[in-house]
Structure 1
Amino acid sequence: MPISLALFDMDDVLVHYDRSARVRSLASLSNRTPDEVSQAIWGSGLEAKADAGLIDDVAYLRETSDLLGCRVSLDDWLQARRESMSPNIQVLALAAAVSGTCKIAVLTNNPRLVSDHIAYLCPPVADLFGKNVFASASFNAAKPSGQTFLKCIDSLGVAPAESLFVDDLEANVRGARNAGLLGHLFTDHAALAEEFRAHGLLMR
């Protein structure tokens, strides 16, 4: 079946993601060590809850503030997230190229803050994908849950068998395949280009 949708993960696929830069920004704000920040945000399970949509953005920022012992405003959070992201120009160019033959969209494990503010966080992603940037929290489940993939592609009006999902994590690719999508484990832009060519999305 022809591919109607190329669905991309964001962090470490469309953008180079440096969590340590985000941690350093929050450590400076809160006067905590990087290890303390990492434990507060990821070790506590807060980030996983936010990715799965189990808490809303207001509660997420409030809990972040409580765990770090200082007020973390929306602007503070966005600045830290922005500092951790830089566009992967080669992969974005591939996405732009295949957009001529199929729909393109982003599905990222993140709170809604990321999709709502993508124009500030990473303008090249916003410029290319427009409204088709989806945070897992919007679907009340995080990858690799099949619910995340199926709700996302349903919102785009595309069937699973017509969708090719690209992610750098094997568990997420496996989750997409279990949900009926095609999956590609991202390693580099050259291998991704070959995958697209195999599906007729790029010229040889």
Structure 2
Amino acid sequence: MSSDRKIVLFDLFGVIARHQRPGALEELAARCPAPTDAFTTAYWACRPPYDAGRQSAPEYWAAVLRWLSLPVDSDTIEDLRLTDIDSWSRIDERMVAYVQSLRDVAEVALLSNIPSDHADAFLAAQPWLHNLDHVAFSGKIKAAKPAPAAFHHCVVAMRAAPADFLFIDDREENVRAAQATGMNGHVFTDRDELTAIIDTWLPTRRLTGKLHDIMKDHRL
């Protein structure tokens, strides 16, 4: 059952924020030190509990080091943790402007797979996040996409119906998972296509000329 609410629910990385900085895994591997291929395998294989808030940052990095049969010490862990956070810190300023402008015509929320300490860093560095109607980070809500619990959290927290949401993510598996819960979904490819999708989804509340002017001002 849907109400007349319209909630645009955004993913973060690959949509509003950039994916991990190129060369970051090589840099992290060198700090261990470990071969890049082996480090990359350990980095991703150990990641799910960390993303889902079931593991602290020190626990995650200790697991990575043990996977690589390397010594576990607090200084190395903290160095890796801070370097990792920095590698995921880039945003797309044009998308930030777009997301903020959408609040004139819809409710806007965020659902991101991100560890708790990374989330804290993002919240501190990006004050615009505090202006959204709801922000859900996997490390904070203890559920990561594509698990249904991640989407259910947003429905409950916003006291909405699943059909009130349009979920935007660059990963098809996450969009399909959102649709399976009853949400509308769109796989993000670029900003212009997204603008057209949202214009269609908000037929009675078209984006204002002001919004289009903002988008034009931020076009490269």
Structure 2 counterpart SS, 1:117? helix
Matched, 1:16 2:14: no
Question: 1:161 deviation in Å?
Answer: 1.4
Q: Output the amino acid matched with 1:41.
A: Y
Return the index of the structure with the highest Cα Rg. Answer: 2
Structure 1 residue aligned with 2:116: 112
Distance 1:105 1:20 in 2: 28
Cα deviation for residue 191 of structure 1 reads 0.7
2:144: which partner in 1?
142
User: C-alpha separation between the residues in 2 aligned to 1:77 and 1:59?
Assistant: 11
Gaps of 5+ in 2: 210-220
Please show how residues 36-185 of structure 1 align to structure 2 within 5 Å: 36-42=38-44, 45-68=45-68, 69=70, 70-71=72-73, 72-74=76-78, 76-119=80-123, 123=125, 126-130=126-130, 132-185=134-187
Cα 1:136–1:73 change in 2 (3 A) is same
Mark the CA change 1:27 to 1:115 in structure 2 (over 3 Å): closer, same or farther: same
User: Which stretch shifts more, 159-168 or 24-33?
Assistant: 24-33
Q: Which amino acid aligns with 1:118?
A: F
- In the alignment, which of 183, 189, 192 is matched to residue 191 of structure 2? 189
| 8 Å Cα contact 2:111-2:136 kept in structure 1 | yes
Cα distance in 1 for partners of 2:157, 2:138 equals 13
Q: Distance in 1 between matches of 2:161 and 2:121?
A: 28
The letter of the residue matching 1:167 is D
CA distance in 2, matches of 1:8, 1:46: 25
1:21-51 deviation digits (Å, cap 9, x = unpaired) = 3312311211212212101111xx2112222
Contact 1:8 1:107 in 2 (8 A): yes
User: Residues 81-128 of structure 1, C-alpha deviation per residue, up to 9 Å, x if partnerless?
Assistant: 3224421122212101102223322211222122222145xx3xx222
Shift of 1:3: 4.3
Shift of 1:190: 0.3
**Structure 1 CA distance for aligned equivalents of residues 53 and 87 of structure 2:** 23
Percent identity over paired residues: 26
SS at match of 1:12: coil
Change (3 A) 1:162 1:12: same
Which range is displaced more, 188-197 or 81-90? 81-90
5+ residue gaps, structure 1:
none
User: CA separation of 1:146/1:129 partners in 2, compared to 1, >3 Å: closer, same or farther?
Assistant: same
* Alpha carbons of structure 1 residues 173 and 3: separation in structure 2 relative to 1, 3 Å: farther
**Root-mean-square deviation (CA), in Å?**
2.4
Figure out how many residues of one structure are paired with residues of the other and give that number: 198
2:18 aligned counterpart, secondary structure: strand
